[in-house]
C-alpha cells in the first residue's frame, strides 16, 4: 500500500454516524445538492455534490476550482460541522484547519473515476474522507494512472486518510453496494472529504 494511506475502520460509531448524518442532511436546505459537469465536455457528473466550509470544490464546463459560494444559490457555504473539525484535529497532523468539505452523494449506479485530488495548493495537508451509508468499492493506485491498484470496501463510519505520498495517488470509487446500509435515505452513500486548499 502506498505510503501515507491510512484506513481507520469504524472511526465513527453508529450513534456518531447518525449524528453526523443528521448534521449534514440539516445543512442541505441551505447548501443544496446539485449535479456538476466535466470540464470541456460538459458531461454530467455521476455523483451529486455540495460543500461546507469557507471554500467549495466545483466542476463545470469551465474547469475545476474552489470558490466561496454555492454555484446555484450564489450564497456562501455553511461552516464545516464540529465533528468533522474534531476528526481533522485528531488525524490530520496539520497545523491549520480544513477549508473545504466536499459532500458527494452516490446513488445506486454512481461511480467516481480514477483521479488525483489536484486542485489544492496545500499539497502537504492530507485529504481525509468519511463514508456514511452504503458500502463502496474504493480503488487506490499509485502516482501514475497506469500504476497497479488495489481495492477495498469502505463501510459507514470508516475514515480514509490520503497523506504523504498517497496524497498524490490515483483513487476512485468503482461502485457502491446499494441497500447495504439503511443509514442514508434511499440506500445511498455519502462521502465527505476534508481538504486544506491554500497553504496556511
Ligand atoms: O467517495 C470516496 O470514497 C472518494 C471521494 C473522492 O475521492 C473525492 O471526492 O475526491
Ligand atoms: Mn478524490
Question: Which CATH number does the domain housing residue 148 bear?
Answer: 2.60.120.590
User: Is 200 among the domain residues?
Assistant: no
Q: How far does residue 109's CA lie from ligand 1's centre (Å)?
A: 15
Q: Domain range spanning residue 148?
A: 5-36+44-195
- Which residue's CA is the closest to the ligand 1 atom numbered 3? 191
Q: Is 50 in the pocket of ligand 1 (CB under 6 A)?
A: no
Q: What is the pLDDT of residue 140?
A: 98
User: Is 53 among the domain residues?
Assistant: yes
How many domains is the chain built from? 1
CA 190 to chain centre: 8
Q: What is the pLDDT of residue 130?
A: 99
User: Is 110 among the domain residues?
Assistant: yes
Q: How far does residue 173's CA lie from ligand 2's centre (Å)?
A: 9
Please state, for a pLDDT cut of 70, what percent of the chain lies above it.
100
Q: Is 171 in the pocket of ligand 1 (CB under 6 A)?
A: yes
Instruction: List strand residue ranges (DSSP E) for the chain, in order.
Output: 5-8, 48-52, 56-60, 63-67, 100-106, 112-115, 127-133, 135-140, 150-154, 159-162, 171-177, 189-195
State mean pLDDT over 99-114. 98
- Which residue's CA is the closest to the ligand 1 atom numbered 7? 172
User: Is 148 among the domain residues?
Assistant: yes
CB 87 within 8 A of CB 159: yes
User: Is 93 among the domain residues?
Assistant: yes
Helix axes 14-27, 82-91, angle to 10 degrees: 130
Q: Is 112 in the pocket of ligand 1 (CB under 6 A)?
A: yes
Q: What pTM did the predictor assign?
A: 0.98
Give 1's pLDDT tier (boundaries 50, 70, 90): confident
Closest by Cα among 122, 102, 123, 118 to 55: 102
Spatial separation of the C-alpha atoms in residues 159 and 6, rounded to whole Å? 8
Which of 7, 193, 195 has most ligand 1 atoms within 8 Å of its beta carbon, as the pocket-test mutant?
193
- Which residue's CA is the closest to the ligand 1 atom numbered 1? 191
Spatial separation of the C-alpha atoms in residues 177 and 187, rounded to whole Å? 9
User: Is 55 among the domain residues?
Assistant: yes
| Average pLDDT over all residues of the chain | 98
pLDDT digits 0-9 by tens, 143-192: 999 999 999 999 999 999 999 999 999 999 999 999 899 999 999 999 99
Taking the CA atoms of the chain, what radius of gyration do you get in angstroms?
Answer: 16
State mean pLDDT over 129-150. 98
Residue 159 CB burial class (10 angstroms; 0-12, 13-18, ≥19) = buried
CA 131 to chain centre: 8
pLDDT digits 0-9 by tens, 68-84: 999 999 999 999 999 99
Amino acid at each position: 500500500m502506498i505510503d501515507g494511506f491510512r484506513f481507520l475502520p469504524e472511526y465513527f460509531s453508529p450513534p456518531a454516524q447518525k449524528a453526523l448524518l443528521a448534521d449534514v442532511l440539516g445543512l442541505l436546505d441551505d447548501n443544496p445538492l446539485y449535479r456538476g459537469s466535466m470540464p470541456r465536455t460538459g458531461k454530467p457528473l455521476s455523483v451529486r455534490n455540495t460543500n461546507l466550509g469557507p471554500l467549495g470544490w466545483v466542476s463545470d464546463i469551465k474547469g475545476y476550482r474552489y470558490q466561496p459560494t454555492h454555484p446555484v444559490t450564489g450564497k456562501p457555504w455553511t461552516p464545516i460541522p464540529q465533528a468533522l473539525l474534531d476528526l481533522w484535529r485528531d488525524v490530520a497532523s496539520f497545523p491549520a484547519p480544513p477549508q473545504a468539505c466536499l459532500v458527494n452523494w452516490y446513488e445506486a449506479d454512481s461511480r467516481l473515476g480514477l483521479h488525483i485530488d489536484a486542485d489544492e495548493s496545500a499539497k502537504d495537508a492530507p485529504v481525509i474522507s468519511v463514508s456514511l451509508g452504503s458500502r463502496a468499492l474504493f480503488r487506490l493506485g499509485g502516482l501514475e494512472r497506469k500504476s497497479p491498484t488495489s481495492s477495498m470496501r469502505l463501510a459507514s463510519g470508516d475514515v480514509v486518510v490520503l497523506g504523504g505520498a498517497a496524497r498524490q495517488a490515483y483513487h476512485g470509487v468503482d461502485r457502491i453496494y446499494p441497500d447495504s446500509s439503511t443509514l442514508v435515505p434511499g440506500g445511498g452513500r455519502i462521502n465527505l472529504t476534508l481538504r486544506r486548499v491554500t497553504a496556511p
